[in-house]
Structure 1
Amino acid sequence: MTSADTLRNIEELQQRCEQYDGISLKLNWDMLRQPSAAGNTEWLVTYEDELLVGFLGLYGFGSEMEICGMVRPGYRRRGIFTSLWNRAQSIIKRGQVTTLLLNTPAASASGTAFLAKLPLTFNHAEYQMKWNGNSSPSLSADASSAGGEVVLRPAIQEDTPTLIQLDSQGFDMTEEAAAEVYKLHKDEGMQEHIIIELSGQTAGKMRLYTEDNETWIYGLTVFPKLRGLGIGRSALLQTIEREQQNYNGVNLEVSLDNPNALKLYESCGFVIVNKQDYYRYTG
């Protein structure tokens, strides 16, 4: 079975689990579709009679790793996910992981029940948000801020150091860790790295990932000295308008401990559609 076949089976299993449980799983498809040579994303699967019944994804971000997974309804309570978790231990150790996070939809009874068996401590939660055109402000001609004109342009190779600097300052990470994360997404065709300029000078960045007419906004940040000028809001509204023209939905994620960002997104017409809980492994 090819990697492409496995990915199609994972997608089908995700749809089945989401429909059955009424949840939205975060499987980081932008990373799953990365070439396996990248070495930062791996998955483990379990088949029974050629049917995919279990999946566990391991996503590396430098020395941090996130894990999520699922088991097909009707095959649960048979130790399938426990077996996948045990198999994952060698991958975790090989990666010299210092922070291991396991995530589950807050509304997933089966996911929460499994995690309750492990030595974990609650780390943080994220809202997944989707733009709702019925509650949005006017999008037209919103290309300005208090500091001047805001322009979005594709990032080029020479922007790499700036992208790393912005991620480091915006998300409280070392530049080395930011560089590792950037490598994950460098060559993927379904995404764009965007530079946000204010009056011709770099002010911020974001990454857009589009698949199946749904665009996800990741890593939106502005240099600290330029915050509060409406740059992020202008970039968001311009992106929404462009994706509307391409008939794409617009989605993003925000941590619950970032109330300023949550307020900004809600003011631009985003509504909460799902909540993901993250737990740090202490074993």
Structure 2
Amino acid sequence: MNWTVEEVKQADDVKMLEQAVNANDKIDVKVGHESVGQNDYAVYDGETLVGYLMLFPYLPNEYEVNALVHPEYRKQGVFTALLETARQDAKLNGCEAFTFVIDRNSASGKAVLEHLQAAYQFSEYNLVLKKAELFLKPDEVSLREATADDRPLIIATLSEAFGDSVDVTENIYQQIDTPDRVTYIGEVDGKPVGVIRALLVGDDAASIHAFGVKAGEQGKGYGRKMLKQMVQQLFRMGRTKVELDVETENKAALEIYKRAGFAENGGYEFYMIEL
């Protein structure tokens, strides 16, 4: 069947599709339906959204891809229509590769990527907060909300922490510098030692990301203390549902998160294809 790829009509359509996929596949995919409308593609059958694909251009030549196809419309060309349209647009913009993100328990997702001969890259755990220290007092490390003047500091710190170039870090940060995020600087005796950010979701949830300690300040326990301070700050904002993602091979970070009250809650796998 020939499907027409068009724009999403409303964000709730994506939410309903997400719920149908999660219920059928027994997974927990979140594609960010609250921010639909940019770099995304849709296939409808009448008024029902049956396929959705979102691109996140975190690098000029490499885009992250999240996609959903309704269980009743699989193997009918929906995903192929979405992918080919997105591929054509991305190549015109200089993209050279797609990185697909799938729930690690998604059998259908893995089957599709195997068919595409996508190369496995890495995996991440999704962690959710189970126990918070709500009355933690600042102990050596304190947080202050970042200002526009802190941008060079933020970029330099994240570049050091993750080992990426300043240019790559700047590009990624530009993509996630949105009004629905908060950024804090970790300080020791007034000296910046790290950065921690969170995406605010809905009315009561938050996803911590872009969390890093300067290379010269690592191994001193600052990261764990920053994380606990961040959780306390999010609770003050009414954000009691807190999560984050961490690469499965990053054992040191995983230990910090678990000691701060986070527990594993599934995870994701990343695969790449060249365009």
Q: Please, what TM-score do these two structures have when normalized by structure 1?
A: 0.87
CA contact (8 A) 2:158 2:214 kept: no
Match of 2:268 among 264, 273, 276: 276
Match of 2:185 among 167, 192, 195: 195
Q: Which stretch of structure 1 is more off in the superposition, 240-249 or 161-170?
A: 240-249
CA contact (8 A) 2:8 2:42 kept: no
Q: Which stretch of structure 1 is more off in the superposition, 117-126 or 95-104?
A: 95-104
> In the superposition, relative to structure 1, how do residues 200 and 155 fare at CA in structure 2: closer, same or farther (>3 Å)?
same
Query: Corresponding residue for 2:146?
Result: 155
Alignment deviations for residues 131-187 of structure 1 (CA, whole Å, 9 cap, x no partner): 102xx5x4533522xxxx21111111111111111121122222112112222233x
CA contact (8 A) 1:142 1:234 kept: no
**What does 1:231-246 align with in structure 2 at a 5 Å threshold?**
231-245=222-236, 246=238
Match of 2:57 among 52, 56, 60: 60
How many angstroms apart in 2 are the aligned matches of 1:79 and 1:226? 51
Match of 1:267 among 246, 259, 274: 259
How many angstroms apart in 2 are the aligned matches of 1:247 and 1:27? 20
Alignment deviations for residues 64-103 of structure 1 (CA, whole Å, 9 cap, x no partner): 2111101112111211111111111112212322442112
One-letter amino acid of the counterpart of residue 262, structure 1: L
Match of 1:143 among 135, 138, 149: 138
CA contact (8 A) 1:130 1:252 kept: yes
How big is the shift at 1:4?
A: 8.2
How big is the shift at 1:274?
A: 1.4
Alignment deviations for residues 25-64 of structure 1 (CA, whole Å, 9 cap, x no partner): 142567x35xx6xxxx501100001110000111101232
How many angstroms apart in 1 are the aligned matches of 2:216 and 2:91? 40
How many angstroms apart in 1 are the aligned matches of 2:148 and 2:51? 39
How many angstroms apart in 2 are the aligned matches of 1:281 and 1:189? 31
Query: Corresponding residue for 2:120?
Result: 122
Is the aligned partner of 1:9 residue 2:22? Answer: no
> In the superposition, relative to structure 1, how do residues 42 and 266 fare at CA in structure 2: closer, same or farther (>3 Å)?
same
Q: How many residues align?
A: 267
How many angstroms apart in 1 are the aligned matches of 2:146 and 2:233? 17
One-letter amino acid of the counterpart of residue 43, structure 1: D
One-letter amino acid of the counterpart of residue 180, structure 2: M
Structure 1 stretches lacking a partner, 5+ long: none
Secondary structure (helix, strand or coil) at the match of 2:249 reads: coil
One-letter amino acid of the counterpart of residue 251, structure 1: E
How many angstroms apart in 2 are the aligned matches of 1:140 and 1:264? 19
Is the aligned partner of 1:177 residue 2:168? Answer: yes
Match of 1:100 among 91, 95, 98: 98
Q: Please, what TM-score do these two structures have when normalized by structure 2?
A: 0.90
Match of 1:254 among 240, 246, 268: 246
Secondary structure (helix, strand or coil) at the match of 1:197 reads: strand
Q: Which stretch of structure 1 is more off in the superposition, 109-118 or 123-132?
A: 109-118
State, as a whole percentage, how many aligned pairs show the same letter.
26
How many angstroms apart in 1 are the aligned matches of 2:272 and 2:141? 38
CA contact (8 A) 2:66 2:102 kept: yes
How big is the shift at 1:23?
A: 0.8
How many angstroms apart in 2 are the aligned matches of 1:195 and 1:99? 33
How many angstroms apart in 2 are the aligned matches of 1:254 and 1:29? 22
Query: Corresponding residue for 2:3?
Result: none
CA contact (8 A) 1:243 1:249 kept: no
Match of 1:44 among 17, 34, 41: 41
Q: Which stretch of structure 1 is more off in the superposition, 8-17 or 225-234?
A: 8-17
How many angstroms apart in 2 are the aligned matches of 1:25 and 1:166? 30
Structure 2 stretches lacking a partner, 5+ long: 1-6
The root-mean-square deviation of aligned C-alpha atoms, in Å, is 2.1
CA contact (8 A) 1:204 1:220 kept: yes
